[in-house]
């Protein structure tokens, strides 16, 4: 790997800057959310696997393996000094775009109704998860090297950077990821120093564009359903409203304190489809009730608070913007995913970070968190350093 | 460097997002948690109901009239079928059922997910086995037991038994009825539905999201419904139905004879005569073919066999070829396959085609052209030489109505208003109000309703209202059979014979009179003298030559307001000669009864304090006219006893049944006295009122169900005889009435039913009866004036100790003596002398 040769140099750099101090709160929150996720995945999948005569811990084990990989990736990425690898961001972005194109070709694996996987023999992965990271890095890079307030030219470049992968992802189709891009773009431009006028323009453009997409496809309603639907490969195709109705019943019936671990009827009797991935929050809501739900949301709140703190204490604009973008991405995922399970958001197929079952997602999210953590570990030690761009 | 303020704003946005999530979770999990919990619970429970077997229906002697057969049905539970598999399942099922796949797919579409759809009913064992052995080709398909209603004797007792069907909106309001149940729609199937249905079994399962059963929560086994034991005697019922059927055919033949005579007078081409020859030849051929077909079906044991089998079991005393009264119109002739008229026809005429209508004169209707105007079709139709442009629902040419027009054909509804349309009969036990037999013809096989009625069946039977029980639903002017009422009044009120008390009259015959106790005025049951059982059954004629009234046939009368009017008897020109009350009833002299009514009218405000204007109505209501009898059958109608109050009310509403101006007058009362005018009764009321007159005054609430028993024979519900009210009758009145009714049948000089009972066989002297002929329409038709009469007969036997009261109606049949009395005669022959005693049906003399 190209990064490996750089490791010794960054070690030298770090020694010059002082000791690396991990963000204990961030890491603990990350591990706690992952552990809760693992438990919820087990509670949601065990009854089905048991009924099928399989090992009830089968999916727990698979997810645990991905989590271990995720932790390693987090640790590795945390140890990379981002300023040292800025030169690679462009090529990485181009490679990811290439992968997105590849997904649309026959090489891409179509599972369920969307074509978004690349099959690499024993491993399959979704390039759109990598695309989120690549886009954040790319945006941070160009915004960090621009003047403040931003030129319209810079805004235009940012739009192109987001636009190209958006179009490719739209073709998959994966509306959820597109919306993530839009939100991340707005958040990063806002924090990165755009004028209010520019933001206003983008906001209106996004709104018009979104409405336009829906209007165009309103003629064929099933296409909207497809766009708004993310159904995990392998699951039965069931009506969207059925998903949400059952998910709502599961969470609502949890009550204040929940039905207790492994006592959820909706969960145990598998009324909620694709529960372990997109609808994992229903397992929390039903088994642990309002209190449990608020605790999970609060944990995400702590995580996001830490990410914003990292953005605020980064030693340079680039690191600050990376942390901002990652915070925005997580925030959007959490809001849209939980919102979907309680019927205030459409079904878009955005996973709940660190909790939803899924390998690529967990590893990619861990990598993203690792990027932000890397910024924290190399935050400004002296006020003078913060001025460097 | 990034702007910390803007980072803070981003933080606030995120806090706002999370606050929304928290609020929504609060409402769901705290405020509305209970509702969600209920939904989660109902998610997991699946209720499967097992239908309870419907109770059987037996006649009084234990003959099964309705039962339940256990069959197998195929149901599909769509919740168990993956969407991807639906199409292939639909195709497999279509191949299995031999129907188009689109039909199965439509069934799937129409049902909600989770609903079980019945795909095929009454599977053969081979079919059921095939489905079970090929489960992989039929995912979600289950074979379940399904009770199917059977009516082993087909049409026998159909109007009493009724039929079952899917519930309508009204039925569904009942708590115990669900959409896919069967409920009674008519007859005792309806009136005893609750008892017949029993309680369905309810099994609750806990299921998972795939509706896989996890555990049995609770189970209640179904309780079978109760069995009905009817008062009906299947043998008598069978004879009544066969006599009614033959009676209707006879009436139609007589009508056709009349028509042929009328036609030969005119210059109309001899279409009918020629056609009849041809028709007879072909009908004979068809009959031969049919009997051959019957032969083959009986050997193969086909379903159709049961129909002809039950027919075959009934005696066939008259020599009429195999009959299909409502069969298709004979091509080119206004006749059905029996060569008789058709009262109601549903005609489909192709564009350019023509058809001859049943009618007094044969008329041709031709469908010439069709045009579309404003999205609706207009058909050009020619009836004889008159061309008309007609639209949907339009009535034209006095007898035709358009049902539907398309580019290829027109469907018309045609009524032959002069063709005898139906016969109705009731046999009642006057000693307890039990109905022994009850039917109207055309009838139907209730089995037809089990699978749902086909359009063809509806066209054939629905258009003539074959499914209605006219014994309780038909309303008729009772005509002269009603004369028993003023007769009883005259005796009871010492009103007639003129100025003589009843006691002066020699009544009851020699056998009864001497044993009459001195305190004859007492009306308690014990005091009613029964004829001695070993007495000579021959009843002495009660005629005396005193107190006669010269029945000239024309009744000129003066009302007490001074006006003079004239009414004419049915026998006019000509009369009955000198008659007293008894002779008047025997000969059915209208004048005598008019005179009774006239006297009531003229004395309506005399000093007696009796409301004489309404006295006859009071008697009528007392004997059960004007109100439903309360029999345990649905849809019974009230009939009508007209009086001044009714007349006024109708007039106020502008009803066409009364004169627009003027008031209730003596003439109206006189019409009422002879059962004409506005008077309406059901055939059951006719039988039930006569029963009360001959049993000493007990008006029964008639009943068809004796008791309801459970599967082990224990009585669940008893339905004992019920007295509606008791009329305070002098015992001599009933005896006198019986003697005079006996004369109607037996008096060879003037009895109106004498010729109908001529070849009765032994016991004719024990029969009493009264004929009646109601004049419905006197309508000018072309050159002819044709009167459409309905024929009535009420009878009682044996008159020494009445056991049976019979009433017969031949709607639009002609005169009572000619067509109704012979039908009743056959029934009485069967009752008195058994099956062997029944002789061939023949028309009686034309008499009122």
Q: What is the pLDDT of residue A388?
A: 42
Contact B36 A297 (CB under 8 A): no
Please, which residues have CB within 8 angstroms of residue B241's CB and are 6 or more apart in sequence? B155, B156, B314, B437, B439, B441, B443
Positions in chain A whose pLDDT score sits under 70? 1-20, 106-125, 172-173, 213-242, 380-389
What are the distances in angstroms from CA A300 to CA A296, A297, A333, B87, B567?
Answer: 6, 5, 11, 46, 105
Q: Which of B2, B33, B208 comes nearest A317 by C-beta?
A: B2
Q: From chain A, pick out residues whose CB is under 8 angstroms from the CB of B209.
A: 246, 269-273
Q: From chain A, pick out residues whose CB is under 8 angstroms from the CB of B10.
A: 187, 190-191, 308, 324, 327-328
For B767-793, the pLDDT digits (tens) are 999 999 987 544 434 334 456 789 999
* B414 φ, ψ (degrees, to nearest 5): -130, 135
What are the distances in angstroms from CA B361 to CA B418, B648, B834?
Answer: 11, 40, 42
10 Å CB burial of residue B423 (0-12, 13-18, 19+) is buried
Q: From chain B, pick out residues whose CB is under 8 angstroms from the CB of A191.
A: 2-3, 6-7, 10
Q: From chain B, pick out residues whose CB is under 8 angstroms from the CB of A293.
A: 25, 29
Q: From chain A, pick out residues whose CB is under 8 angstroms from the CB of B6.
A: 190-191
What are the distances in angstroms from CA B530 to CA A10, A134, B513, B726, B732?
Answer: 131, 116, 11, 18, 11
For B809-842, the pLDDT digits (tens) are 999 888 889 999 999 999 999 999 999 999 999 9
Mind telling me how many Å the CA of A278 is from chain B's nearest CA?
16
Q: From chain A, pick out residues whose CB is under 8 angstroms from the CB of B14.
A: 301, 304, 308, 327, 331
Section B23-36 average pLDDT: 92
Testing the interface with B: which of A44, A225, A268, A269 to mutate, by most B Cβ within 10 A? Answer: A269
What's the alpha-carbon Rg for chain A, to the nearest Å?
21
Section B463-476 average pLDDT: 91
Residue B520: both structure tokens together: 């004859």
Q: From chain B, pick out residues whose CB is under 8 angstroms from the CB of A324.
A: 2, 7, 10
Mind telling me how many Å the CA of A284 is from chain B's nearest CA?
12
Q: What is the pLDDT of residue B399?
A: 85
Section B376-396 average pLDDT: 89
**What does the H/E/C string look like for B71-97?**
EEEEEEEHHHCCHHHHHHHHHHHHHHH
Angle at B173 between CA B168 and CA B174, to 5 degrees: 105
Q: Which of B2, B11, B37 comes nearest A255 by C-beta?
A: B37
Nearest to A316 by CA among A83, A22, A21: A83
Q: Give the mean pLDDT of chain B.
A: 80
For B182-207, the pLDDT digits (tens) are 899 999 999 999 999 988 888 787 77
Q: Which of B7, B10, B36 comes nearest A252 by C-beta?
A: B36
B765 vs A114 pLDDT, higher one: B765
Mind telling me how many Å the CA of B141 is from chain A's nearest CA?
20
Res. B79 pLDDT band, cuts 50 70 90: low
Section B787-800 average pLDDT: 89
DSSP string spanning B218-241?
A: EEE--BPPPEEEES--HHHHHHHH
Residues 191-220, chain A: which have Cβ within 8 Å of B? 191-193
Q: Which of A191, A273, A290 comes nearest B29 by C-beta?
A: A290
Work out the number of other CB atoms within 10 angstroms of the CB of residue B754: 22
Q: What is the pLDDT of residue B263?
A: 62
DSSP B508: S
- B254-268, B309-323, B541-555, B814-828: range with lowest mean pLDDT: B309-323
* B581 φ, ψ (degrees, to nearest 5): -55, -45
How far, rounded to the nearest angstrom, does the alpha carbon of residue B386 sit from its chain's CA centroid? 38
Residue B757, classed as helix, strand or coil, is: coil
- The torsion region of residue B526 among left (phi > 0), alpha (psi -120 to 50) and beta comes to alpha
Between strands B715-718 and B344-350, the pairing is unpaired
CA torsion through residues A44, A47, A52, A54, sign: positive
pLDDT at B424 over 60: yes
- CB distance from A324 to chain B under 8 Å? yes
Nearest to B805 by CA among B746, B737, B759: B737
Q: Which of B150, B166, B190 represents a domain boundary (last residue)?
A: B150
CATH number of the domain to which B93 belongs: 3.90.1310.10
Q: Which residue of A has its CA nearest to B8?
A: A308
Residue B598 belongs to some domain of the structure = no
Task: Tell me which residue range forms the domain holding B395.
Answer: 364-415
- CB distance from A49 to chain B under 8 Å? no
B776 vs B695 pLDDT, higher one: B695
Residue B809: both structure tokens together: 């109606």
Please, which residues have CB within 8 angstroms of residue B136's CB and are 6 or more apart in sequence? none
Contact B14 A246 (CB under 8 A): no
On whether the CB atoms of residues B156 and B230 are closer than 8 A, the answer is no
β-pair partners for B556: B566
Contact A266 B1 (CB under 8 A): no
Section B447-468 average pLDDT: 83
Which residue is it, tokens 């591990």? A31
Q: What is the pLDDT of residue B339?
A: 63
Assess whether the previous peptide bond of B623 is cis (omega < 30° from 0): no
Contact B43 A271 (CB under 8 A): yes
Q: What is the pLDDT of residue B287?
A: 67
pLDDT at B487 over 90: yes
End-to-end CA separation in angstroms for chain A:
27
Mind telling me how many Å the CA of B30 is from chain A's nearest CA?
6
Nearest to A299 by CA among A58, A34, A101, A66: A34
Q: Which residue of A has its CA nearest to B206?
A: A269
In chain A, domain spans: 22-378
Q: Which residues of B touch A (CB under 8 A)?
A: 1-4, 6-7, 9-11, 14-15, 17-18, 20-22, 24-26, 28-30, 32-33, 35-37, 39-41, 43-44, 82-83, 207-210, 214
Q: What is the pLDDT of residue B520?
A: 36
Total residues belonging to chain A: 389
* Percent of chain B with pLDDT strictly greater than 90: 37
Contact B25 A290 (CB under 8 A): yes
Contact B36 A311 (CB under 8 A): no
Mind telling me how many Å the CA of A3 is from chain B's nearest CA?
27
Res. B50 pLDDT band, cuts 50 70 90: confident
Residue B152: both structure tokens together: 């082993």
Residue A239, classed as helix, strand or coil, is: coil
B228 vs B133 pLDDT, higher one: B228
Contact B32 A252 (CB under 8 A): yes
Residue B390 belongs to some domain of the structure = yes
- CB distance from A320 to chain B under 8 Å? yes
Residue B377 belongs to some domain of the structure = yes
Q: Which residue of A has its CA nearest to B84?
A: A237
β-pair partners for A108: A118
What is the domain count for chain B? 2
Contact A252 B35 (CB under 8 A): yes
Residues A231, A244: Cα–Cα separation, whole Å? 12
pLDDT at B672 over 90: yes
Res. B346 pLDDT band, cuts 50 70 90: confident
Contact B10 A256 (CB under 8 A): no
Residues B593, B453: Cα–Cα separation, whole Å? 48
Residues B578, B567: Cα–Cα separation, whole Å? 18
- CB distance from A260 to chain B under 8 Å? no
- CB distance from A266 to chain B under 8 Å? yes
Q: What is the pLDDT of residue B135?
A: 77
A388 vs B282 pLDDT, higher one: B282
How far, rounded to the nearest angstrom, does the alpha carbon of residue B826 sit from its chain's CA centroid? 21
Q: From chain B, pick out residues whose CB is under 8 angstroms from the CB of A328.
A: 10
CB pairs under 8 A between A and B: 137
Contact B21 A342 (CB under 8 A): yes
Residue B166: both structure tokens together: 């899917």
Q: Which residue of A has its CA nearest to B212?
A: A269
Mind telling me how many Å the CA of A132 is from chain B's nearest CA?
19
Residue B290, classed as helix, strand or coil, is: helix
Contact A190 B6 (CB under 8 A): yes
Assess whether the previous peptide bond of B497 is cis (omega < 30° from 0): yes
Q: Which of A256, A285, A301 comes nearest B18 by C-beta?
A: A301
Q: What is the pLDDT of residue B47?
A: 75
Q: Which of B26, B39, B43 comes nearest A290 by C-beta?
A: B26
């Amino acid at each position: 790997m190209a990064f490996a040769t750089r490791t010794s140099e960054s070690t030298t750099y770090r020694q010059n800057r002082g000791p690396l101090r991990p963000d204990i709160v961030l890491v603990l929150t990350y591990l706690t959310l992952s552990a809760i996720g693992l438990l919820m995945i087990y509670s949601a999948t065990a009854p089905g696997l048991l009924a099928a005569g399989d090992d009830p811990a089968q999916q727990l084990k698979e997810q645990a393996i991905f989590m271990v990989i995720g932790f390693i990736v987090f640790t590795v990425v945390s140890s990379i000094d981002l300023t040292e690898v800025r030169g690679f961001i462009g090529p990485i972005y181009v490679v990811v775009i290439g992968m997105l194109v590849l997904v649309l070709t026959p090489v891409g694996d179509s599972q369920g109704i969307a074509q978004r996987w690349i099959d690499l023999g024993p491993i399959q992965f979704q390039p759109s998860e990598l695309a989120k990271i690549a886009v954040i890095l790319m945006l941070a890079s160009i915004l960090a090297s621009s003047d403040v307030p931003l030129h319209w030219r810079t805004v235009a470049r940012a739009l192109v950077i987001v636009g190209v992968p958006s179009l490719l992802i739209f073709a998959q189709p994966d509306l959820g990821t597109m919306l993530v891009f839009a939100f991340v773009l707005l958040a990063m431009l806002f924090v990165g120093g755009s004028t209010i006028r520019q933001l206003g323009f983008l906001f209106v453009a996004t709104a018009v564009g979104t409405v336009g997409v829906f209007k165009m496809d309103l003629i064929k309603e099933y296409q909207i359903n497809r766009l708004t639907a993310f159904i995990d490969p392998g699951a039965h195709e069931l009506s969207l409203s059925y998903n949400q109705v059952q998910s709502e019943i599961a969470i609502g019936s949890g009550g204040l304190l929940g039905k207790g671990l492994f006592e959820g009827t909706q969960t145990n009797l598998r009324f909620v489809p694709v529960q372990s991935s997109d609808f994992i929050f229903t397992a929390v809501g039903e088994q642990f009730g309002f209190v449990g739900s608020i605790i999970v949301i609060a944990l995400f709140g702590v995580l996001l608070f830490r990410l914003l703190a990292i953005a605020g204490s980064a030693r340079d604009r680039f690191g600050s913007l990376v942390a901002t973008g990652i915070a925005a991405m997580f925030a959007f995922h959490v809001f849209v995913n939980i919102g979907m399970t309680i019927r205030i958001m459409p079904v878009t197929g955005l996973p709940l970070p660190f909790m939803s079952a899924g390998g690529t997602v967990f590893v990619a999210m861990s990598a993203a968190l690792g990027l932000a953590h890397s910024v924290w570990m190399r935050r400004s030690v002296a006020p003078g350093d913060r001025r460097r761009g | 460097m990034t702007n910390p303020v803007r980072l803070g704003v981003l933080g606030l946005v995120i806090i706002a997002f999370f606050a929304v999530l928290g609020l929504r979770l609060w409402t769901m999990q705290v405020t509305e948690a209970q509702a969600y919990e209920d939904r989660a619970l109902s998610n997991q429970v699946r209720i499967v109901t097992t239908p309870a077997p419907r109770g059987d229906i037996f006649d009084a002697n234990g003959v099964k009239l309705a039962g339940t057969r256990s069959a197998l049905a195929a149901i599909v539970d769509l919740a168990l079928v993956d969407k991807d598999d639906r199409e292939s399942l639909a195709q497999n099922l279509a191949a299995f059922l031999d129907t188009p796949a689109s039909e199965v797919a439509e069934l799937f579409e129409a049902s909600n997910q989770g609903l079980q759809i019945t795909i095929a009913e009454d599977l053969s064992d081979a079919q059921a086995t095939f489905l079970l052995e090929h489960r992989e080709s039929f995912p979600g398909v289950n074979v379940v037991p399904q009770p199917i209603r059977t009516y082993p004797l087909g049409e026998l007792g159909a109007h009493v038994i009724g039929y079952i069907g899917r519930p309508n909106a009204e039925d569904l309001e009942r708590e115990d009825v669900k959409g896919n149940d069967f409920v009674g729609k008519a007859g005792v199937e309806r009136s005893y539905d609750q008892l017949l249905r029993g309680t369905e079994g309810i099994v609750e399962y806990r299921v998972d999201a795939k509706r896989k059963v996890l555990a049995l929560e609770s189970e209640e086994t179904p309780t079978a419904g109760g069995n009905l034991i009817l008062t009906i005697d299947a043998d008598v019922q069978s004879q009544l139905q066969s006599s009614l059927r033959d009676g209707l055919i006879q009436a139609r033949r007589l009508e056709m004879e009349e028509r042929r005579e009328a036609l030969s007078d005119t210059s109309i081409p001899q279409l009918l005569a020629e056609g009849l020859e041809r028709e007879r030849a072909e009908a004979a051929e068809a009959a031969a073919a049919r009997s051959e077909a019957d032969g083959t079906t009986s050997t193969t044991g086909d379903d159709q066999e049961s129909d002809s089998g039950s027919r075959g079991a009934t005696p066939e005393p008259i020599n009429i070829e195999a009959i299909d009264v409502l069969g298709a119109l004979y091509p080119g002739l206004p006749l059905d396959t029996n060569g008789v008229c058709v009262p109601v026809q549903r005609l489909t005429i192709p564009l350019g085609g023509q058809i001859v209508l049943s009618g007094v004169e044969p008329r041709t209707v031709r469908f010439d052209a069709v045009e579309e105007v404003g999205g609706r079709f207009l058909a050009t139709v020619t009836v004889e030489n008159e061309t008309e442009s007609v639209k949907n629902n339009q009535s034209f040419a006095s007898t035709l109505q358009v049902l539907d027009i398309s580019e290829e054909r027109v469907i018309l509804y045609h009524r032959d208003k002069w063709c005898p349309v139906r016969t109705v009969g009731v046999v009642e036990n006057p000693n307890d109000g039990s109905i022994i037999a009850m039917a109207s013809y055309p009838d139907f096989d209730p089995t037809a309703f089990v699978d749902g009625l086909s359009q063809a069946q509806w066209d054939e039977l629905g258009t003539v209202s074959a499914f209605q029980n006219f014994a309780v639903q038909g309303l008729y002017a009772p005509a002269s059979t009603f004369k028993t009422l003023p007769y009883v009044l005259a005796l009871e009120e010492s009103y007639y014979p003129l100025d003589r008390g009843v006691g002066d009259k020699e009544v009851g015959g020699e056998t009864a009179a001497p044993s009459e106790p001195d305190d004859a005025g007492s009306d308690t049951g014990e005091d009613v003298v029964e004829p001695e059982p070993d007495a000579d059954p021959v009843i002495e004629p009660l005629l005396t030559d005193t107190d006669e009234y010269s029945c000239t046939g024309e009744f000129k009368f003066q009302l007490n307001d001074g006006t003079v009017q004239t009414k004419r008897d049915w026998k006019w020109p000509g009369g009955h000669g000198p008659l007293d009350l008894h002779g008047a009833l025997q000969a059915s002299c209208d004048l005598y009864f008019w005179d009774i009514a006239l006297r009531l009218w003229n004395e309506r405000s005399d000093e007696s304090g009796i409301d004489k204007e309404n006295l006859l109505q009071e008697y009528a209501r007392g004997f059960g006219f004007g109100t439903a009898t309360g029999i345990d059958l649905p849809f019974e109608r009230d009939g009508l006893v007209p009086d001044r109050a009714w007349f006024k009310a109708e007039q106020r509403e502008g009803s066409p049944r009364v004169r627009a101006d003027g008031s209730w007058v003596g003439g109206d009362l006189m019409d009422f006295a002879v059962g004409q005018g506005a008077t309406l009764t059901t055939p059951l009321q006719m039988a039930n009122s006569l029963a009360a007159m001959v049993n000493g005054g007990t008006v029964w609430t008639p009943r068809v169900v004796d008791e309801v028993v459970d599967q082990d024979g224990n009585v669940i519900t008893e339905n004992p005889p019920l007295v509606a009210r008791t009329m305070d009758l002098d015992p001599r009145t009933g005896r006198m009435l019986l003697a005079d009714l006996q004369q109607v049948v037996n008096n060879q000089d003037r009895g109106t039913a004498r010729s109908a009972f001529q070849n009765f066989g032994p016991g004719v002297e024990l029969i009493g009866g009264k004929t009646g002929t109601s004049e419905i329409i006197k309508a000018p038709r072309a050159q002819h004036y044709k009167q459409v009469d309905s024929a009535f007969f009420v009878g009682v036997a044996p008159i020494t100790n009445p056991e049976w009261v019979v009433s017969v109606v031949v709607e639009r049949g002609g005169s009572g003596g000619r067509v109704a009395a012979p039908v009743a005669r056959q029934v009485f022959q069967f009752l008195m002398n058994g099956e062997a005693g029944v002789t061939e049906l023949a028309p009686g003399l034309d008499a009122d």
